[in-house]
Amino acid sequence: MLEGLRKAFTNLIEHFSTTQLSDKDVHQILDEFKLELAANDVSMEAADRISELIDEKLRSLRVPRFSDRYSMIRQIMIEVLSSVIIEISPEILFMAIKAKKLSNAGPYVILFVGPNGGGKTTTVVKIANLFKKEGLKPMIACSDTFRAAAIEQLKALAEKIGVKTVSQEYGSDPAAVAVDAINSARAGGFHVVLIDTAGRTEVDKNLLEEMRKIKRVTMPDSVIYVGDSLAGNVAVEQARQFHSYVGIDYVVLTKFDSDTRGGSAISICHAIGKPIIFIGTGQGLDDLLPFTKEFLINRLFA
């Protein structure tokens, strides 16, 4: 996991810490470094920005006599990555839900968006499970009325954790299902509604317009984009499109337990300027971790 990115940064540190280099050498090494980042699913825009920041910091670096140059350059790499990756604690979300609960303003509504096959439905249930553990009462809206067996899958998973679902027939208006769930939650004293929506293998205009309609009708408090960390730059472009249509507040990256290159985490943050809140680490309903910069950085510079 992350072996390619780790090697790219390690090689760069060694280049800059063991040899006095000319400006031409530095630019050549950084150009090669950018290609290595791109090969590990870092978008070219993000790779350019990372290289630019490294170049700036190296130019201002002053190494005192007898100092550990390797450690100082390694710290520069860590600082640069930390400035590009955006994180947020799930506590912020929990506190927002609890604040709305105390205000008696109705349930906190979260709209989940993302392409098909990224693990969105399972992620919805995982997060509902977390809410239950926080003492909250969640409800799930089965607004994916397009994909075959989507409603049955969601209901079966929700039943495992004891969370109520609201659904209609396949082909029903997804926005109507979501509104029905919000009204039911308000009447039943539920604290949070999680709206699962349809995805497609490729993001298309009809899907994006459907998401826009659901958002307009339900007026969610937060929008969470669920992306597949194995999808590389495809996930970045998908996140960018969803963000332009509905506005993303938080990102969840799934399948982080697989042999992921890791670049998606860096690239999505840079592309849409929004934080990663969770990463999926398996198929189990407890396999969800709060994302931190340290999680990624420690695996690259351990």
Query: Tell me: the pLDDT tens digits for 9-59?
Result: 999 988 888 777 677 888 899 999 999 998 888 889 999 999 999 999 888
Same structural domain for residues 78 and 94? no
- Residue 259 reports pLDDT greater than 70: no
CATH of the domain at 211: 3.40.50.300
Radius of gyration of the chain, Cα coordinates, nearest whole angstrom: 22
Based on the fold, state whether residues 159 and 34 are members of the same structural domain: no
Residue 71 structural domain: 3-84
Q: What is the mean pLDDT of residues 289-297?
A: 91
* Residue with tokens 């954790």, as numbered in its chain: 161
Higher-pLDDT residue of 148, 47: 47
Indicate the residue among 84, 102, 132 that finishes a domain: 84
Q: Are 6 and 78 in contact (CB under 8 A)?
A: no
Give pLDDT, residue 256: 83
Among 222, 212, 203, 208, CA closest to 127: 222
Domain count, the chain: 2
252-262 average pLDDT score: 77
Give per-residue pLDDT as tens, 62-93.
665 656 788 888 999 999 999 999 999 999 99
Regarding whether 99 and 49 lie in a shared domain, the answer is: no
Q: How confident is the model at residue 148 (pLDDT cuts 50, 70, 90)?
A: confident
Q: CATH number, domain at 48?
A: 1.20.120
Dist. CA 256–CA 1, nearest whole Å:
9
| Residue 27 amino acid letter | H
Tens of pLDDT, residue by residue over 113-128, are 998 888 999 999 999 9
Please name which of 58, 32, 49 lies closest in space to residue 83, comparing C-alpha atoms. 49
Q: Please choose, from the candidates 72, 116, 90, the residue with its C-alpha nearest in 3D space to the C-alpha of residue 288.
A: 90
Q: Are 211 and 271 found together in one domain?
A: yes
Last residue of a domain, one of 60, 84, 108: 84
Co-location of 140 and 273 in the same domain: yes
pLDDT at 250: 97
For the cut 90, the answer to whether the pLDDT of residue 273 exceeds it is yes
Q: Which of 267, 270, 290 is nearest to 280 (CA)?
A: 290
Last residue of a domain, one of 17, 49, 84: 84
Closest CA to 208 of 194, 221, 223: 223
Q: Give the tens place of pLDDT for each residue, 187-245.
A: 999 999 999 999 876 667 888 899 999 999 999 999 999 998 887 778 888 899 999 99
Q: Do 51 and 190 share a structural domain?
A: no
Question: Is the model more confident about 257 or about 250?
Answer: 250
pLDDT at 103 (0 to 100): 94
What pLDDT does residue 63 have?
Answer: 62
Which residue pairs, CB below 8 angstroms and at least 24 apart, start in 40-43? 40/4, 40/5, 40/8, 40/261, 40/262, 40/263, 41/232, 41/233, 41/260, 41/261, 41/262, 41/263, 41/264, 41/267, 42/5, 42/263, 42/266, 42/267, 43/233, 43/236, 43/263, 43/267, 43/270, 43/271
Winning range, highest mean pLDDT, from 35-39, 144-148, 215-219, 279-283: 215-219
Residue 289 has pLDDT above 90, yes or no: yes
Q: Tell me the mean pLDDT in the region 127-142.
A: 97
Please indicate, yes or no, whether residues 57 and 111 belong to a single structural domain of this protein. Answer: no
* pLDDT tens digits for range 155-202: 999 999 999 999 999 989 999 999 999 999 999 999 999 999 998 766
- The mean of the pLDDT values for the chain is 90
